[in-house]
Amino acid sequence: MDIFSRTRAISAKRSVLWTLIVRDLRVRYANSVLGYVWTVLDPLLMSLIYFVVFVYIFKRGDVGHKPYFLFLVIGLLSWQWFSGSLTDTSRALIQEAKLVRSTNLPRELWVLRVVLSKGIEYLLSLPVLFAFTAIYFFKNDTHLNWLLVLFPVAIVVQAVALAGLGLLLAPVTALVTDMQRVIRIVLRMLFYATPVVYAGRVVPHPYDKMTWLNPMTGVLEMMRAGFFSHQGKQAVVWGSIITSVVISVLLLVVGSYVFARLERPVLKEI
């Protein structure tokens, strides 16, 4: 089957995909006392920690846009979706091995369900972001602008990148289980190589261009663009945004191709 045939097959089973997403969300919060609260509590606490470290301990509140706490919340909420999706999509085929083998569903559904369920969790966390934005806006500490239109675009681009990475990693991890450990290590390193707690503009030349190869660099640039003023050195880095869009689409194409080529070996292995 070519990529277009597989896309049509996935589209035909979108109701099943939605059922799998709902199941994931229900199972995730079934035995949790705080439930949804955990979705926002972790990034908020991490934002507080980084805020204290950079602003009060190192006296470096200039590493990101001001207000720095809002800058951190935007980055950490997005990173939570990114890291959670990569961790879970990499083992999506292994965890659901019996269902993957025994059903005639397009196997890509098991990866896409993770990306989309984590994406829904991200969307459910946005009211917290909007609440902090409202507080800073009425205090005249932040300046909203027309670049807010890039925010939903960033969400779509991140979903595309995650789908591509998930389709690439899931079959590879099923064949080489050590990949799960590799992914955990890479994610720790990638966190500091991604402008989550700092702005891309503080990365010195020529290394700043290297960070553009990370699709999350452009995604975070888009997500933050509408919340802060952009004057002088704080101008929006359009190069990273364009690069992010291109790389995300390429990841989806490559991921789909690799998944299709490795599907039979994976079914034999699991």
- Whole-number pLDDT of residue 30: 67
The closest of 251, 245, 240, 246 to 156, measured between CA atoms, is 245
Question: 115 near 232, Cβ under 8 Å?
Answer: no
Q: CA–CA separation, 71 vs 224, rounded Å?
A: 7
Question: 54 near 63, Cβ under 8 Å?
Answer: yes
- Whole-number pLDDT of residue 142: 87
pLDDT digits (tens, 9 = 90+) for 97-106: 888 888 888 8
Amino acid residing at 140:
N
Q: CA–CA separation, 45 vs 37, rounded Å?
A: 12
Question: 217 near 244, Cβ under 8 Å?
Answer: yes
* CB within 8 Å of 149: residues ≥ 6 apart: 226
Q: Which residues of the chain have pLDDT under 50?
A: none
